[in-house]
Amino acid sequence: MSSTRAEQICRFGGFTLDLGEGLLRRGDESAFLRPKSHALLLHLARNSGRVVPKADVMDVVSPNVYVTEDSLTQSVREIRKALGDNLVRTVSKRG
């Protein structure tokens, strides 16, 4: 099964997440994200506007692998650094 180029692009908040190249772009600027951060950002972008439970995030970012919450925290920190603090919110006790 092949995917089209359009299926490999996710746009949100002035950013473009290129799934094929693994790059996050804003205009002409691009930023590289580690694979776990890239997977997390893609999941969050696809679920924009809703609270994503932490357990769901852990399953997506590290399927079938035990990771600590520190690993998730590091990925969120990397995403916030790339996007700015206002696009990703943490909701206490929910996700």
Assess contact for 5 and 38: CB atoms under 8 A.
no
User: 5: how many CB neighbours lie within 10 A of its CB?
Assistant: 9
Q: What is the pLDDT of residues 35-75, one digit of tens each?
A: 888 888 988 888 888 898 888 888 877 778 777 788 888 99
Half-sphere exposure of residue 17: CA atoms within 13 angstroms, side-chain side: 22
pLDDT of 78 strictly over 90: yes
**The tokens 């580690």 sit on which residue?**
34
Domain 5-83: assigned CATH number: 1.10.10.10
pLDDT at 1: 39
pTM, full prediction: 0.79
Q: Where are the domains of the chain?
A: 5-83
